[in-house]
A and B are shown apart, each in its own frame.
Chain A
Amino acid sequence: MTPIIKVNNLMFSYPNGVVALRNINLEINKGEIVAIIGHNGSGKTTLVKTFNGLLKPTSGEVLINGVSTKNENTAKLSKIVGYVFQNPDDQIFNNSVYNEVAFGPGNLNLKKEEINKRVLNALEIVGLEKDKKMHTLDLSLNKKKLVTIASIIAMNPEVIILDEPSSGQDHEGTVKIEALIKELQKNHTVIIISHDMNLVSKVASRVIVMWDSNLIFDGDKRTAFMNSDLLKKTDVSPPIITQLAQKIKGFRKDILTADEFIDEIIKLKK
């Protein structure tokens, strides 16, 4: 089966000369849920922006369903790969919540009723149905983020990329985002970028670690969280409970929850 995203020897430099990606190779298959983590400025956002053609490779290639992004226009690619921006203010440009979410589907040659259906459905999924008439400028940051997520859901792309989905959310919001990601995964390939290792450990099984423009790890999350050299080098902090377990002699190093921690205590005390 052709991977939905395939990246070959990708290099990218910005017009100002900054080399943000070096020799990246990876494959993502349909239905996967992948988390991309790494320090500030490591290249996470740049990498995913090459997936929907917002940025084109300086050299190497990105294949979406086997087709290089080089010759595809962004409008066409965004029907397959939807990207929710890290900062909602970079994405939102319509006045009302409704218009913002309707904008993408409006370019898909859909009937009016179908657009309306999709917008209302997307707003319901993120829990903003009551706010559809709100002015986007009057929204608090967490709601802006939900609007940007809804506007991608309404496009119904095969791949949904969420850049820092839980930033600006409270606990209930983060729980909602977790559930939303799990729901989206049923019908989409999902990629998240996050500094929130609790979120990463809850929703993803595969993690990709970026470090200084390079991809330096691609594999199972527990393996990543146990790899102290990797964590140290890339300045990734595993969840605080994992950190605690790693400080205690004889404990498993890949504990992710309080329940796992207690099981370990009971086991070791026997």
Chain B
Amino acid sequence: MDILKFKNFSWTYEGFNTPIIKKINLTIKKGEFVGMIGRVGAGRSSLCSSILGLIPHFYPGKFEGNIIVDGVDVETSSLSKLSTIVGLVFQSPTNQLSGAGTTVEEELAFGLENLGIQRHEIIKRVEEMVKLIGLEKFSSRNPFELSGGQQQKVAIASVLIMEPKILVMDEPTAQLDPLGTKLVFDLIKKLASKGITILLNTQNVDQLAEFADRIIIMDKGEIAADGDARSILTDITLLKKYGIEPSQLTTLSYKMKEKKLWNKPLCLTMKDAEEMVCEVMKR
């Protein structure tokens, strides 16, 4: 089932002459884990905003074509309706925090309260989330009195706790340490296993290699490439063309090929690389 569909979608911010997103056609199936990558300014954040309907309902501008989210037409629907389907983790955590709560717990409960969920159920879910994301020690802290990474965790948790049908994340772990990143991805994997559709925008190729099934490269407002993760992320020529640095592991296998030390497909994951090195050392 197609849960997300862009049909000839273009977007021009008010006051600008040229569209920032140009005639995009894209279909995402329910349960897919899609990664998105590209140069800065390619329009990735704008595309994320359009799925939640911030474009066009918050940002003014010219909207052309259609976006259909779980059967709902974004342009004619409303932010409040779309937010029951889509969860968006913003690039900047400061923009995410509602400021409605004076503690981390209250911030996390805020969205659930708006859904009219029962008090005891909210308390249970908040407690669980705080633990899973590693914020136990900070649950009664004011969200604005936290370190940058801790704030980013609160922002992510406030979206994940809603268990949206479509989860869109715009560079969610840019400020997180490895442990925090792992906790977040463990949570995301859990949601993915429940059939939630995920769109992850990141510059971290190793992260995409580990989690995404399908990769979209955006360039200058258009979709430059769309395919399965392994074939896209090991296509060094394609990546370089769009300003993307391959994984160090892919580069290693590429350089080994050049030196005639390796003649099989390029590596993408740690497992591939370990196998490659073992084989080369045995020879």
A: residues with CB less than 8 A from B are: 14, 16, 18, 38-41, 45, 86-87, 89-90, 138, 140-143, 163-164, 167-173, 195, 198, 235-237, 239-241, 243-244, 247-248, 258-259, 261-262, 265, 268-269
Tell me the bound Cα distance from A25 to B248 in angstroms: 36
Complex interface: chain B residues within 8 A of A235 (CB): 177-179
Q: Within B68-110, which residues are at the interface with A (CB < 8 Å)?
A: 91-95
Q: Within B149-178, which residues are at the interface with A (CB < 8 Å)?
A: 149-150, 153, 171, 174-178
Q: B266-283: contact bitstring with A at CB < 8 Å (1 yes, 0 no)?
A: 000010011001101100
21 interchain pairs, CB-CB under 8 A: A14-B145, A16-B142, A38-B177, A41-B150, A89-B94, A142-B40, A142-B41, A143-B41, A168-B91, A172-B40, A173-B40, A236-B178, A240-B270, A241-B249, A244-B252, A248-B277, A258-B248, A258-B255, A265-B261, A268-B281, A269-B280
| Number of inter-chain CB pairs below 8 Å | 124
Complex interface: chain B residues within 8 A of A198 (CB): 248
- Asked if B203 is at the interface of the complex by the 8 Å CB criterion, the answer is yes
* Smallest beta-carbon distance A77→chain B, Å: 22
* Smallest beta-carbon distance B60→chain A, Å: 12
Tell me the bound Cα distance from A239 to B274 in angstroms: 15
B contact residues, total (Cβ < 8 Å)? 49
Which B residue sits closest to A46, measured CB to CB?
A: B147
- Asked if B195 is at the interface of the complex by the 8 Å CB criterion, the answer is no
Tell me the bound Cα distance from A240 to B274 in angstroms: 12
Complex interface: chain A residues within 8 A of B261 (CB): 262, 265
Query: Are A170 and B203 closer than 8 Å at their CB atoms?
Result: yes
- Asked if B19 is at the interface of the complex by the 8 Å CB criterion, the answer is no
Complex interface: chain B residues within 8 A of A195 (CB): 149, 175-178
Query: Are B148 and A172 closer than 8 Å at their CB atoms?
Result: no
Chain-A contact segment, one of B112-120, B121-129, B224-232, B239-247: B239-247
Complex interface: chain B residues within 8 A of A237 (CB): 178
Query: Are B145 and A41 closer than 8 Å at their CB atoms?
Result: no
Residue with the greatest number of chain A CB neighbours at <10 A, chosen from B148, B243, B274, B278? B148
Query: Are B153 and A40 closer than 8 Å at their CB atoms?
Result: yes
Complex interface: chain B residues within 8 A of A143 (CB): 40-41
Which A residue sits closest to B178, measured CB to CB?
A: A237
- Asked if B180 is at the interface of the complex by the 8 Å CB criterion, the answer is yes
Residue with the greatest number of chain B CB neighbours at <10 A, chosen from A40, A87, A265, A268? A40
- Asked if B39 is at the interface of the complex by the 8 Å CB criterion, the answer is yes
Query: Are B178 and A171 closer than 8 Å at their CB atoms?
Result: no
* Smallest beta-carbon distance B211→chain A, Å: 15
Complex interface: chain B residues within 8 A of A168 (CB): 40, 91, 171, 174
Query: Are A170 and B243 closer than 8 Å at their CB atoms?
Result: yes
User: Which residue from A38, A163, A170, A262 sits with its C-beta under 8 Å from B40?
Assistant: A170
Complex interface: chain B residues within 8 A of A39 (CB): 177, 179-180
Which A residue sits closest to B16, measured CB to CB?
A: A138
Query: Are A41 and B92 closer than 8 Å at their CB atoms?
Result: no
Tell me the bound Cα distance from A196 to B81 in angstroms: 38
- A-B interface, 3 closest residue pairs, ranked by CB to CB distance from nearest: A40-B149, A171-B245, A142-B40
* Smallest beta-carbon distance A68→chain B, Å: 26
Query: Are B248 and A171 closer than 8 Å at their CB atoms?
Result: no
Query: Are A172 and B248 closer than 8 Å at their CB atoms?
Result: no
Tell me the bound Cα distance from A164 to B149 in angstroms: 11
Query: Are B277 and A40 closer than 8 Å at their CB atoms?
Result: no
Complex interface: chain A residues within 8 A of B259 (CB): 262
- Asked if B256 is at the interface of the complex by the 8 Å CB criterion, the answer is yes
User: Which residue from B92, B150, B277, B280 sits with its C-beta under 8 Å from A244?
Assistant: B277
Query: Are A262 and B255 closer than 8 Å at their CB atoms?
Result: yes
